[in-house]
Amino acid sequence: MPLTTDEAYTELIRRVKAIALLNSCGSVLHWDHQTYMPAKGAAHRAEQLALLAGLCHEQFTAPEIGELLSGAEGGGARHEPRSAVAVNVREIRRAYERATRMPAALVEELARTAALAHDVWVEARRASDFERFCPWLAKLVALKQQEAAAVGGGGARYDALLDEYEPGETVERLIPIFAELRTSLVELVGRIARSQKRPDLSILHRAYPIAAQETFGKTVAAAIGFDFQAGRLDATVHPFCSGIGPGDTRLTTRYNLHDFGDAFFGVLHEAGHGLYDQGLEAEHFGTPMGEAVSLGIHESQSRLWENFVGRCGAFWEYWLPQARQVFPEALTGVGLEAFVFAVNDVRPSLIRVDADEATYNLHILLRFELERALIDGDLAVPDVPAAWADGMERLLGIRPLDDARGCLQDVHWSGGSFGYFPTYTLGNLYAAQFFAKAQAELGDLAEQLRRGEFLPLKAWLNRTIHREGQRYRAAELVAAVTGEPLNPRHLLRHLTEKFGALYGL
């Protein structure tokens, strides 16, 4: 006897949640790979990850999933498009269509190659030797080109990869938005460079004991609402947040004795991601209603807490007195104005993760340009270092002196994450628009931060963004929350006003 619509939906969700549990096992292995796994375990870990990826793909692309989807699509999903049932069916259908176009052998080979390439990248970066990583990057580019060909819908090849991270987004839409940003940011950075005002950066490069950095970072992360009973903080080469599942969200950062900002703002950034993961409804785990909208929306949460909160003067009015107690030798006698100016220094730099708010998006625009050229076949992999250096000089006026500070600095390509980088700039754009709306609805946020009241903002984000799961696509969510479509002028206004005041522009 055929299943009823409700029965088909119930069975579909049961299967999808089981696959999500299997995927979460892979997330633990990925986290362990980049934190505590011994170096010689790389080959074995690659096989583990390939096996899990293959199993998840096999289970999700089984004909029964398609049959259950067809059965579930005949009910309430058709009449209430924003209901949990409708959202789950819609987004599972989207993921199923994409997955069934991916050959199982390609899925396994991508997982295996990415795991092995990551460890080669770590060594190549340490040695600043692109040639060591070059054959692996070439293999990954070829595999991602195969993926784009398999899942693409006839548009730009890069769109097929971008869609994995930012569903519905296209190169055609991004190019004019990014062009407007590029013009305005280059002009703003130029004005800042001509200013006579400069912060005292030595404040941030005194000795900050690593154990104390960890303690202070965890204290601040807890204060903004990250639950350490449902998460943890560890060290890694490249900071990330891994949402394993309900009750298990893992943050990582990296520590430098003589760089306060590296770890602290890394913790604040990843804690922003962690708050999103912890804010998802646990009952919906494994379904679209229990997952983030997109990586751009996820990035908006980390950038909001890192920059709009963590680098503003009001935030440090509350935290600097406590930081002086934790780091007395480094911060005794350091005034609020000098400290806030130091953490908002603007100058062209080589490393993306160290870049300031004003120049950061120029780093992303370069990667967006190079990724598209690689995937379209317009840039040969051996030519990447030179193209990278030329792009840095064109956009930021500086050239990397070696591969480690050039094209080897980011982990993304070693994991096959092509199409990921644009979500960083989208995250900055979304963050500015969300923060402006929060300010309008919550009142004087600066005064709240000055008093150490961070939870009203967290609760607003939980309510308007996190708990919505994938009810909306990113562009729809922005409009639903803020009352207008994505508008880059919110970010440009924020940057112009902030740095205009700091640099006397």
**Partners of 235 in the β-ladder:** 253
> What is the C-alpha R_g of the chain?
23
User: Please, what is the end-to-end C-alpha distance for the chain in angstroms?
Assistant: 74
Identify any residues that bridge with 250 across adjacent strands, giving them in sequence order.
232, 242
Calculate the alpha carbon distances from 487 to 111, 430, 479, 495 in Å.
37, 8, 10, 14
Strands in 231-235's sheet, in edge-to-edge order, are 231-235, 248-253, 241-245
User: Residue 232 region, left (φ>0) first, then alpha (ψ -120 to 50), else beta?
Assistant: beta
CB 374 within 8 A of CB 418: yes
Question: Tell me, what DSSP letter sits at residue 235?
Answer: E
For 53, the token pair is 């990826």
Show the tokens assigned to 411: 């982990």
């199923």: which residue's tokens?
A: 96
Using DSSP's 3-state secondary structure scheme, residue 245 falls into strand
> At 151, phi and psi to the nearest 5?
-105, -10
3-state secondary structure 313-345: HHHHHHHHHHHHHHCHHHHCCCCHHHHHHHCCC
- The rounded distance, in Å, linking the Cα atoms of 244 and 251 is 11
**Residue corresponding to tokens 């990415």:** 114
Which of 343, 354, 263, 265 minimizes the C-alpha distance to 302? 265
Structure tokens that stand for 487 in this block: 């508008």
Angle of CA points 404, 406, 407, to nearest 5°: 95
User: Angle 5-33/42-60 helices, nearest 10 degrees?
Assistant: 170
Catalytic residues, which ones? 270
Q: Please, are residues 98 and 132 in contact by the beta-carbon 8 Å criterion?
A: no
